[in-house]
Amino acid sequence: MAAARARAVALLLFCSFPASRSSRSDVLVLGDADFDYLATEHDTMLVKFYAPWCGHCKKLAPEFEKAAGKLKGTVQLAKVDCTAQVDTCSRFGVTGYPALKIFRNGRDSASYDGPRSADGIFEYMMKQTGPDSARLLTEEDLQAFVHHYDASVVGVFSDEESPGLADFAKAAGLLRDQFRFAHTTQMTLGAPYGLQTEGVLLFRPPRLANRFEDGVVVFRDLVTIPSLRRFIRDHIFGLCPHMTLESKERLRVRDLLTAFYNLDYKRDARGSNYWRNRVMKVASKYAGRGLFFSVANQKDFRGELEEEFGVGTSDGGDVPLVTIRTKAGHKYAMREEFTRDGASLERFLDQYFAGRLKRYIKSEPIPPDGNAGAVQVVVAESFDAVVNRPDKDVLIQFYSPTCPHCKKLEPVYAALAETLSADANVVVAKMNAVDNDVPPGYDVQGYPTIYFAPAGRKDEPVRYQGGRELGDFLRFLRRQAGQRHDKQEL
């Protein structure tokens, strides 16, 4: 009897104690009542602010859970339900979901803008641990630091009081999520690389060593945060970097050619460099013409190659598949097989620079009855002809065929089109954004996303963020028409 009573008391105490961590999860659950005192217990913490109904949040959830397990004991991952913990989310300025923020000792340190995969979160957050810049004392320390899978940035300074070291440390704090930093006050460590005074050494990853460029780049100018940032930006990737799922966004800020093949530097560095050396040989001939080069694992980007470029990947990656993606969003694919002498790649590049390549656009067929209904159906191939027609105001809805919110909007959107059907200057249109490429200038992260493309200003589309009733749309369109009239008057 006493034993049964003890078990009951223990069970009661367990159930009534306010647990912030699920027994099956390594993600800490935070709320308005406990956020501050629990957050201060962790040196570094990544917090996900989310809403249970948010599709992007649901997609992120399993990756976030996996990352929490991998980071257990090093970096704490936590989550806040913004539909229930309104005060906390408001305090940290959360306006969209999911929002990820890095906290240090309970203080909001920075927004997380890294990958959303478990491995990507792990790699990104591991760079957030430890000092911003490691201190190197000996040649052995230096070699151990730079012999790494990623590039290394090493500052060489005369003493701990050097102004250059102070700026270097600040830059390391700002950029540590992207690059590896270390510093030394042993000036002799820079001498083998031609650095006799204070400066910075950028070591490219040893696995990417090649005969077309130096493995170490020296920065001898005055070290300031802006100058160091420019130096790293201009030299970190080299002539032909290895693009990964984690680094792709940083590489794609420029026009980029990528060769995708069976690349695996961890298991077969020599084999991975076989095709990369052939890409680099060609790249060196086209240097300075505004196009940059990279190599990537075909398996990592299989879905992208098939869906976004219409390129099949059935060969297993033994021969590279080559694409170009410009910063404006234009896409090109090399249809000729990559030859070992690089001649096919050169022909592809000559056509690209001569403007003779046809862009690849993922598009459904242009519907023969696209104008039959009140809502005009647009596909990627007809987007310019309909939405970018200079003399028309166009309201364009980007939707997904399976999106319940899009289906709910259908009758309202159709009623809007019927109401405006007598106005020849206004077009109400929609495009399936799953099966058609969304043009540059339109940011579609969820469905439905609606934009207004005004007559005469097609390069300045306006995102619609109002209500979804008929009157809301009509008031928005009247307001846009009035603004255009006012500008014309001016």
pLDDT value of position 351: 96
Residue pair 126/178 in contact (Cβ under 8 Å)? The answer is no
Strands 426-432 and 76-81: unpaired
pLDDT value of position 217: 96
Q: Please pick, among 57, 82, 89, 240, the residue that the annotation labels catalytic.
A: 57
* Category of 456 on φ-ψ map: left (φ > 0), alpha (ψ -120 to 50) or beta: left
Q: Please pick, among 15, 54, 89, 240, the residue that the annotation labels catalytic.
A: 54
Q: Please pick, among 82, 89, 240, 406, the residue that the annotation labels catalytic.
A: 406
pLDDT value of position 102: 93
Q: Which residues pair with 462 in a beta bridge?
A: 452
- The verdict on residue 440 lying in a domain is yes
Residue pair 296/259 in contact (Cβ under 8 Å)? The answer is yes
- Both 77 and 96 in one domain: the answer is yes
The model's pLDDT over 80-120, given as tens digits with 9 standing for 90+, comes to 999 999 999 999 998 889 999 999 889 898 888 888 899 98
Supply the DSSP string of 64-85, one letter for each residue: HHHHHHHHTTTSEEEEEETTT-
Q: What is the rounded CA–CA span in Å between residue 49 and residue 270?
A: 43
Residue pair 170/225 in contact (Cβ under 8 Å)? The answer is yes
Q: How many domains does the chain have?
A: 4
- Both 119 and 23 in one domain: the answer is yes
Q: Lowest mean pLDDT of 3-17, 48-62, 432-446, name the range.
A: 3-17
- Both 381 and 479 in one domain: the answer is yes
- The verdict on residue 464 lying in a domain is yes
To the query of whether residue 82 is one of the catalytic residues in this protein, the response is no
Tokens 């599709």 correspond to what residue? 55
Give the pLDDT mean for 281-308: 93
Query: Which of residues 126, 145, 178 is at a domain's end?
Result: 126
To the query of whether residue 406 is one of the catalytic residues in this protein, the response is yes
Q: What is the rounded CA–CA span in Å between residue 415 and residue 444?
A: 24
Q: What is the rounded CA–CA span in Å between residue 64 and residue 215?
A: 36
Residue pair 80/31 in contact (Cβ under 8 Å)? The answer is yes
Q: Would the pLDDT of 205 be above 50?
A: yes
Q: Lowest mean pLDDT of 11-25, 252-266, 408-422, name the range.
A: 11-25
pLDDT-derived band at 482, boundaries 50, 70, 90: low
Q: Would the pLDDT of 199 be above 90?
A: yes
Query: Which of residues 205, 235, 265 is at a domain's end?
Result: 235
Give the pLDDT mean for 272-278: 95
- Both 110 and 165 in one domain: the answer is no
The model's pLDDT over 217-261, given as tens digits with 9 standing for 90+, comes to 999 988 888 999 999 999 999 999 999 987 898 899 999 999 999
To the query of whether residue 403 is one of the catalytic residues in this protein, the response is yes
Structural domain that includes position 276: 255-353
- Both 113 and 180 in one domain: the answer is no
Q: What is the rounded CA–CA span in Å between residue 322 and residue 296?
A: 10
pLDDT value of position 208: 93
To the query of whether residue 15 is one of the catalytic residues in this protein, the response is no
